[in-house]
Amino acid sequence: MVCLTLFKENYLLIKIIFIINYFTFIISYLYTALINPGIPKRQYYFKYLETKNLAKNDWQKCSKCNILIPTNFKVTHCNRCQICIREHDHHCPWTSKCIGKFNIKSFYIFVNSLMCYLIMIFITFYSHIFYHGYNRKK
């Protein structure tokens, strides 16, 4: 019953929390979906080669996309995207994109804000039902 009274008294605060969480969810989703997940660029590797003076045996070649990659980089080939991704975590079906080195943090923010949003909707829905059900009986 205390939770329901707090819900009724802090209605504006709950709306603000919903709005902030919703925009965090949307912005992190767009950032995850639109940013480069870690696709190797040839210009970067040529600069890396010039600065580090690596020998030919310090490079590995992807057998599927034929790109040269330094052996000290953790690069994995994604079979769905048909590209190599630095620090590949997984291929996300929600964003239809790989999750890698550059978008993993925004993906975690996206998933956590989605979970918080769903929990808030669940609490709001049930507190609304119980609050109105409690007031009807009186």
Rounded to whole angstroms, the Cα distance separating 78 from 91 reads: 7
**Phi, psi dihedral angles at 69 (to 5 degrees):** -135, 135
Contact 110, 32 (CB under 8 A): yes
**Phi, psi dihedral angles at 76 (to 5 degrees):** -130, 145
Active-site option among 62, 65, 81, 92: 92
Tell me whether residue 98 is one of the annotated catalytic residues: no
Beta bridge partners of 84: 77
Burial label, 21 (beta-carbon count in 10 A; 0-12, 13-18, 19+): middle
Catalytic residues: 92
